[in-house]
Structure 1
Amino acid sequence: MKKIGFLSFGHWSNHPAYKTRTASDTLLQSIDLAVAAEEIGLDGAYFRVHHFAAQLASPFPLLSAIGAKTNSIEIGTGVIDMRYENPLYMVEDAGAADIISGGRLQLGISRGSPEQVIDGWRYFGYEPAEGETDAEMGRRNAMLFLQRLNGIGFAEPNPYPMYPNPPGLLRLEPHAEGLRERIWWGAGSNATAVWAAENGMYLQSSTLKFDESGKPFHIQQAEQIRLYKEAWKKAGHEREPRVSVSRSIFALVNDQDRFYFGQQGNGADKFGYIEADQRAVFGRSYAAEPDQLIKELAEDEAIQEADTLLLTIPNTLGVDYNIHLLSSILEHVAPGLGWR
């Protein structure tokens, strides 16, 4: 059995072929998509977070709205860039969203990916400490976020407050019980995957990772996951680890599917640079008739290692068509692979 969710980048543009021409379209359709995904039996609704772009950004209003309109589906991010975040305010936002959803938040955080502007976090008022890189600042913010999620008081109370305080040091409110155990780290390298395991975070691994061996993407990603699991076991955490991988997978079951994605199935991994000095490997897309798709996916080692699969979706094509795409995977592909 494998949990299956969708991952939306939340694009919009005033394009005649798009169903999402405005931010309003994307936000409202994201809610509708999560509701419909729950109805067909999908396990998760996840959303990317990008700043300075016509894409979804601040996630907590959206996650809260979805939490209020759904009952069982996991709700998450992939990922929140911690270089842009005030960790303490984020504890309050995340706590509120988790409580509204009844404890279904699965929050993916990370250092983040290359952004639309140069050092965009500076515009948000954040600067690395002296001698610190922006990636280190992101990890430092992540650790403070995790620490304050634990619900232990740390702030000295005012002796003359507006309202009576409970005894002892004060914590942030609202406190969401168990949310600390549902934080995921988006790791682009083997080292950060091990770091995530050591710090008790679940692992999100996307369709891109740093190229550390020149091997095919799914092989490198599978090796990353195994290192993560080994580090988790060595750290002695009592709960079981979770791992998600993202994939672009399209079952071609009608002419519309073939029109949109029929030429993507023959793709291969791509190697390139996401930053000036950082070589990366980008995983291929899968698009084929269901029987062929089952054969190809069975050979993807990283998918086999993960307990959760996030299907990247073309949100600009609208709710109805995306539900068709997701339903096609659930009905025609997942059973053949033992996922359902």
Structure 2
Amino acid sequence: MKKIGFLSFGHWSSHPAYKTQTASDTLLQSIDLAVAAEEIGLDGAYFRVHHFAAQLASPFPLLAAVGAKTSKIEIGTAVIDMRYENPLYMVEDASAADLISEGRLQLGVSRGSPEQVIDGWRYFGYEPEEGETDADMGRRKALEFLDKLKGIGFAQPNPYPMFPNPPGLLRIEPYSEGLRERIWWGAASNATAVWAAENGMYLQSSTLKYDEGGKPFHVQQAEQIRLYKEAWKKAGHKREPRVSVSRSIFALVNDQDRYFFGQEAVRGDKIGMIEQDKRAIFGRSYAAEPDQLIKELAKDEAIQEADTILLTIPNTLGVDYNVHVLSAILEHVAPGLGWRP
């Protein structure tokens, strides 16, 4: 059994074929899609975060709205770039969204990915400390975020407050119990996957990782997941680890599917460079008739290692078509792989 969610990058553009012409279209359709996904039995609604782009950026208003409109589905991100964040303010926002959803937030964070602008976090007012890289800064902020989510007081109270204070040091409010244990780390390398396990974060592994051995993408990703699980066990955490992998998977069940995604059937992994000097491997997309799709996905080692699959969706094609895409996976593919009874 696998949990199955969707992952939306939340694009919009004035392209005449797009159903998402504006930011408003994308935000409102994201809420509608999450509601529809819950109705068809999907387990998760996840959203990507990109700054300085015509894509979803500020996740917490959206997550809160989705939480208020749904009742069962997990809601989350994959991922928030911590280089842009104020960890304390983020604790307030994340806790509020989690309380609105009654504890369904699954928040994916990371040191960040290649950006639309050079060092965009500088425009948000953040600079690495002396001797830090921007990646170090992102990880430091993530650890501070985790620490403050514990709900332990740390701030000296004003002796003359507007309202009476409880005794002792003050914590950030609101506090959402259990949220600290539902934070995920988006890891592009084996080393950061191990670091996430050591710090008690779940693992999100996408369709991109650093090329660390020249093997096929799914094999490298499976190795990363196994290293993560070993590190989690070694760290002695009381709860079970969780791992999600992202995939572009399309069951071709009608002519429209074949028109949109038939060309993906012949594509494989790709090798490229990110951040100018890092060799990366990009995982293939899957698109085929359901029976063939089941055979191909059964060979994906990383999917076998994960408990959660995030299906990347073409959000620009609108809510109705994406419900069709997700329903086709649930109906025609998931049972054949043992993801659903």
TM-score by shorter chain over 0.5: yes
- Give deviations 1:117-162, integer Å, cap 9, x for gaps: 0000000000000110000000000000000000010000001100
Alignment partners' CA distance in 1, 2:123 and 2:263 = 40
Alignment partners' CA distance in 1, 2:330 and 2:54 = 30
Matches within 5 A, 1:182-331: 182-331=182-331
- Give the superposition deviation at 1:105: 0.1
- Give the superposition deviation at 1:275: 1.5
Q: What SS class does the counterpart of residue 108 from structure 2 fall into?
A: strand
Alignment partners' CA distance in 2, 1:242 and 1:263 = 33
Q: What SS class does the counterpart of residue 157 from structure 2 fall into?
A: coil
Alignment partners' CA distance in 2, 1:189 and 1:97 = 30
Alignment partners' CA distance in 1, 2:215 and 2:274 = 18
Alignment partners' CA distance in 2, 1:51 and 1:277 = 22
Alignment partners' CA distance in 1, 2:150 and 2:73 = 24
Q: What SS class does the counterpart of residue 78 from structure 1 fall into?
A: strand
Structure 1: state its 5+ residue gaps: none
Answering whether residue 46 of structure 2 is matched by residue 46 of structure 1, we say yes
Matches within 5 A, 1:170-181: 170-181=170-181
Alignment partners' CA distance in 2, 1:179 and 1:288 = 38
- Give the superposition deviation at 1:266: 1.1
Matches within 5 A, 1:70-85: 70-85=70-85
Alignment partners' CA distance in 1, 2:145 and 2:276 = 30
Percent identity over paired residues: 86
Structure 1's consecutive aligned runs of 4 or more residues displaced over 4 angstroms after TM superposition are none
Q: What SS class does the counterpart of residue 79 from structure 1 fall into?
A: strand
For residue 326 of structure 1, what is the amino acid of its counterpart? L
The TM-score normalised by the length of structure 2 is 1.00
Answering whether residue 21 of structure 2 is matched by residue 21 of structure 1, we say yes
Q: 2:120 matched to which residue of 1?
A: 120
For residue 137 of structure 1, what is the amino acid of its counterpart? M
Alignment partners' CA distance in 1, 2:265 and 2:39 = 29
Structure 2: state its 5+ residue gaps: none
- Give the superposition deviation at 1:276: 1.1
- Give deviations 1:9-60, integer Å, cap 9, x for gaps: 0000001000000000000000000000000000000000000000000000
Q: 2:146 matched to which residue of 1?
A: 146
For residue 95 of structure 2, what is the amino acid of its counterpart? G
- Give deviations 1:265-316, integer Å, cap 9, x for gaps: 1111000101111000000000000000000000000000000000000000
Alignment partners' CA distance in 1, 2:90 and 2:60 = 9
Q: What SS class does the counterpart of residue 262 from structure 1 fall into?
A: helix
Q: 1:5 matched to which residue of 2?
A: 5
How many residues are treated as equivalent by the alignment? 340
Matches within 5 A, 1:89-168: 89-168=89-168
Alignment partners' CA distance in 2, 1:275 and 1:212 = 16
Alignment partners' CA distance in 2, 1:265 and 1:72 = 34
Alignment partners' CA distance in 1, 2:189 and 2:124 = 26
Alignment partners' CA distance in 2, 1:334 and 1:51 = 34
For residue 316 of structure 1, what is the amino acid of its counterpart? T
Q: 1:169 matched to which residue of 2?
A: 169
Give the superposed CA RMSD. 0.3
Alignment partners' CA distance in 1, 2:62 and 2:191 = 32
Alignment partners' CA distance in 1, 2:66 and 2:195 = 31
Alignment partners' CA distance in 1, 2:147 and 2:339 = 35
